[in-house]
Amino acid sequence: MSQPSPFAVFGHPVAHSLSPRIHQDFAEQFGIVLEYRAIDAAPTAFAEAVHAFFAAGGIGANVTLPHKGAAFALADERSEAARRAGTANVLTRLPDGRLAAHNSDGAGLVRDLTERHGVDLRGRDALLLGAGGAARAAAWSLLDAGVQTLTIVNRTPEAADALADAIGEPARVHTRYWDDLADLGSYDLILNATSAGVLGGTLKLPMSLVGARALCYDLAYGAAAIDFVAWAEAAGAHRAWDGLGMLVEQAAEAFELWHGRRPDTEPVYQALLAAG
């Protein structure tokens, strides 16, 4: 009997990761037997741990905080999505042993919004809070999906400016200062890509940002997204979601990349919802 194919998710910490469960559920849909484990690697040990995993026969790995930038730098080849974001959340061993990097975050976000939640992104005026790795992936994909304008606000304005400059569409992409949030007016799509919830902090956002029938989305999920979703609902948002669906969809992107088959994400998403 052949050994199961080895896959992993790298992070620090990583014990909370839902990726092992998600990928096992995907694999069961196709009768694929795989080994998928969580590997906790401190930043100083990340590169060594990745090389050891692939040297031992690893086929593919997901990468979560705080290693997405390091994964991008470690790779020998990079997809367009990874190059645009400047980060990677997927590493794949190529036939010659080199590593290829990909970023599935932006595609996962758009698929969750458009296919699961039925959102037409075309023509929307979007506000993106944050300018880190997740925000960079989201920005490109939102523009590809047709948002009319994208305003990027980050506590460190230089990062927002760098992202806008990289996109190079001044007619559609704007940056503003965090201290000016109360003066920006309202938006019909607001996305939180900051690390505040993940780090246990809170965002103090003016309710004036939420326009009529606005949609709000936190790229984090679970406890990390509770404060933002509660703010959105209190401000009168038409709908507010956390990023659980994005997590499932970005995992499906990686699964299809590795196995050549697209899993049915909805039963996996619903099972995770039911599990709380």
Q: How far is CA 153 from the centre of its chain?
A: 18
* Beta-bridge mates of residue 40: 11
SS3 6: strand
Question: 66 burial class (0-12, 13-18, 19+ CB within 10 angstroms)?
Answer: middle
Taking alpha carbons only, the member of 23, 19, 21, 22 closest to residue 32 is 23
Active-site residue, from 7, 19, 20, 68? 68
Say how far apart CA 249 and CA 125 lie, in whole Å: 24
Annotation marks residue 204 as catalytic: no
State how beta strands 34-40 and 187-192 pair: unpaired
Using the Cα atoms of residue 124, residue 196, residue 135 and residue 175 in order, give the sign of their dihedral.
Answer: positive
The residue type at 6: P
Say how far apart CA 263 and CA 260 lie, in whole Å: 10
Compute the chain's Rg from CA coordinates: 19
Which residues have a catalytic role annotated? 68
